[in-house]
Amino acid sequence: MIEVLATNNFGDTREGNGLAGPIGLLIILVLVAATIFLIRNMNARLRRLPEKFPPQPPPERPDDQE
């Protein structure tokens, strides 16, 4: 019973193609590139905003007094 529970069903990590390293590196590089593009896009959008916004009237609150 214990041998059945201790069986490695995920394959031997020391043999085989060994693609975990290169695929992990590719995923990290894609995430870094996406982060760089998102930061550049957000900076461009922030530069387009005006220095100051016009004052807005305070929101109207309904009278809750009955």
Outline where 1-66 has alpha helix (H).
Answer: 2-5, 20-48
What is the tens place of the pLDDT at every residue in 8-24?
A: 666 655 555 566 788 88
* d(C-alpha 65, C-alpha 63), whole Å: 5
Q: How confident is the model over 25-65, as pLDDT tens digits?
A: 999 999 999 999 999 999 999 999 998 989 998 888 877 65
| pLDDT at 7 (0 to 100) | 67
Query: Which residue is associated with the tokens 């959008």?
Result: 45
Show the tokens assigned to 25.
Answer: 């590196």
